[in-house]
Structure 1
Amino acid sequence: MTADLFDLPQARPAPQTSTQPVPLAEGAVLFPGLALPDAPALIRAIHDLARIVPFRRMETPGGRQMSVAMTACGESGWCSDRNGYRYTTHSPVTGAPWPPLPDAFVAISRRATAAAGFPKPPLQSCLINCYEPGARLSLHQDRDENAPHMPIVSLSLGVAATFLWGGLRRSDPVRRLRLAHGDVVVWGGPSRFVFHGIAPLSRSSHPETGENRFNITFRQIAPEE
């Protein structure tokens, strides 16, 4: 995942009122509420993982501290520092291998991938983001992986956020979509390298996460042997 600083005008997105899948582009779909039945187990798993590898705000290659706190699990975790963006097999904080994916993570990734019509779920790496009020993720493409044929699965828990969904060029128009608790977005195929991000998180509260929003993103980082 390559994070690029890119300021965008803010706009208030319309709330999602339907549970029907929302096509975003070819190979990309939003599933409102798909993860709601799994949400309690997913949140418990996040807290369990954070006790093993705590959330931290990483540094970009340019020396800026990211506003989003991150941790990871799976075969490899995504990292950023002055040396660049990369995946590592061990946590730079603990020096130990990243924790394995919890069963609840594997189950929702499989279900979402199948619902979007992709044959295999991305299960090599899972990045977990914690957004506090004001935190944001700049418009970017995910290009640090070597498996462009595999989709990305991203699910939201807690406080609702404004998802920025652009095109394959930075200059393409950007849509603003509300991602609520339990929503899942899957994108791949022709949409695999779409620019996307999260606008600054508004101050709000959710009964299961307080003022925070958690985002769980699954990626395949290398072709399967």
Structure 2
Amino acid sequence: MSRGAPYASDGLFPRPRAVVAPGAVHVPGWLSAARQRELVEACREWARGPVPLRHTVLPGGGMMSVRTVCLGWHWLPYRYARTAEDVNGARVAAFPPWLAELGRAAVADAYGDAGAGAGYTPDAALVNFYDGAARMGMHQDREERSDAPVVSLSLGDTCVFRFGNTEDRGRPYTDVELASGDLFVFGGPSRYAFHGVTKVLEGSAGPASGMRAGRLNLTLRDTGLGGGSESGERSGA
């Protein structure tokens, strides 16, 4: 993985960065085309295993429309574990140091605070693949024992990302188009905001990312579980 600058140069019609809510920042075009292609290739490798890309089955028997592969810690509804007991029992792939470095750069750039970036220590990632029919219902990321920000990186097709409030799934919320290469960071007062994906705009990616179809989303988290615990839940999840 390249160690060069992660962000893209300005496009013909650059989109401005935006503070969507306190602690929630959208930085369009943060990833260069070269870095996008590198991440797509890494995602393809992770999807092969040791725990393959899969549809997550929810406790009520429903199945998520996105397909997911995890790094560092395996996410199950609604907890983390080192092994994928809901798939094949294998230990989840390691969370690579270069991805943590990218996460620190993302936080520093989104918040304009090098100190905030330096203190960010993600140890898990969820990689979600959306085809044209996939959606993500409004939810909170509450399985972590750390209040550190969540870093979201988008690759491939553009989606409509709905970012809501911390109280419930209803209004107020803001719909944001996340295109390939975009960064979205949410922490602080918005760390437990409800959020979801209402639509994927098929065929919108173009060739820059190296995606043939669909959307990839990488979310980086600090679980707060440390290196010694083998499983964990956040109370109230």
TM-score (norm: length of structure 2)? 0.79
Matched, 1:183 2:182: yes
Matched, 1:106 2:100: yes
Q: Does the Cα contact within 8 Å between 2:100 and 2:123 map onto a contact in 1?
A: no
- Structure 1 192/216 Cα, relative in aligned 2: closer, same or farther at 3 Å? same
1:45-60 equivalences in 2 (<5 Å): 45-52=42-49, 53-60=51-58
Q: What displacement does 1:122 show?
A: 4.2
* Residue of structure 2 in register with 1:24 after alignment: 20
For 2:61 and 2:89, the matched residues in 1 are separated by: 22
Please state whether the residue corresponding to 1:67 is helix, strand or coil: strand
* Residue of structure 1 in register with 2:9 after alignment: none
* Residue of structure 2 in register with 1:78 after alignment: 75
Query: For residue 38 of structure 2, what is the amino acid of its counterpart?
Result: A
Please state whether the residue corresponding to 1:45 is helix, strand or coil: helix
Match of 2:36 among 34, 39, 42: 39
Q: What displacement does 1:145 show?
A: 1.0
Q: What displacement does 1:157 show?
A: 0.2
Structure 1 residues without counterparts, runs of 5 or longer: 1-16
1:56-205 equivalences in 2 (<5 Å): 56-74=54-72, 76-80=73-77, 85-92=78-85, 93-115=87-109, 116=111, 117=113, 118-119=116-117, 120-148=119-147, 150-170=148-168, 171-204=170-203
For 1:90 and 1:223, the matched residues in 2 are separated by: 14
Pairs aligned (count): 204
Moved over 6 A (4+): none
Q: Does the Cα contact within 8 Å between 2:159 and 2:197 map onto a contact in 1?
A: yes
For 1:132 and 1:104, the matched residues in 2 are separated by: 27
Percent of aligned pairs sharing the same letter:
34
Judge which range, 181-190 or 162-171, deviates more: 162-171
TM-score (norm: length of structure 1)? 0.83
